[in-house]
Structure 1
């Protein structure tokens, strides 16, 4: 008979979505017999576990994003410093070339001075373009500018020795 009463109580009390505080006595008995409270608790625990796992994943992604941002900032600053060094070198080379030209080089020296002036002008344009895009400038571009600037320095040394 007890089983029949419990079956009747559980059939009458739909407790799957009703909070325990609103079920009353028979609703509580029905929830105990049907196991809906345990299923609901298990579902809530699984939701909490999923939310915690997602939170940890998001925190890890945030940490990685912050590390990438810091690394990128360091790279941008390094690129800006290298571009500033190239700018200084180019300025010194322009001044040196102007002084050499003032010394009236003639013949092949004048041709070499004109070629160096064109190369310096081209390098200056490329440096400005790289400066404008300093967040996207590549290491290869910086290396190319530095190597070409050194090559002009060597050519100026040869021109000055003539």
Structure 2
């Protein structure tokens, strides 16, 4: 059984993770594990959102709330590393460009674990945006890059990313 951590921190992440969770849950070879970092957390909104998307309660809730970018990133790295050390997954799937995306990617890769990035290759080219830094860091070290658009594929090609790491999956 292939264990796959699905990392989500913000509502848009859950919308992207839900179809993947359902597909993996239906597959006989996969064990999807939901990890909610808590980066953007409101109990009432999260619970109803999970229900609407047909997602179970997360297997892990890291409890990282608001804070500076460094506080969030460091908090997620420390909390997620504990989970990884206890029961390493075969894959970690991160989504988008929030601090949790980069943090979980760093924690997994430092333990030599495989990472897939859903929504890879998006670029604003504005280095003042924390999200741009998160995207660049994540795409640089993730093993597999799932892109939402042809221009994201082109961005990765222009950055010299090996084609076998990139798969267009759509939005």
TM-score in terms of structure 2 length = 0.24
The TM-score normalised by the length of structure 1 is 0.25
> Which structure has the highest strand share of the two?
2
Structure whose alpha-carbon radius of gyration is higher: 1
Structure with higher helix content: 1
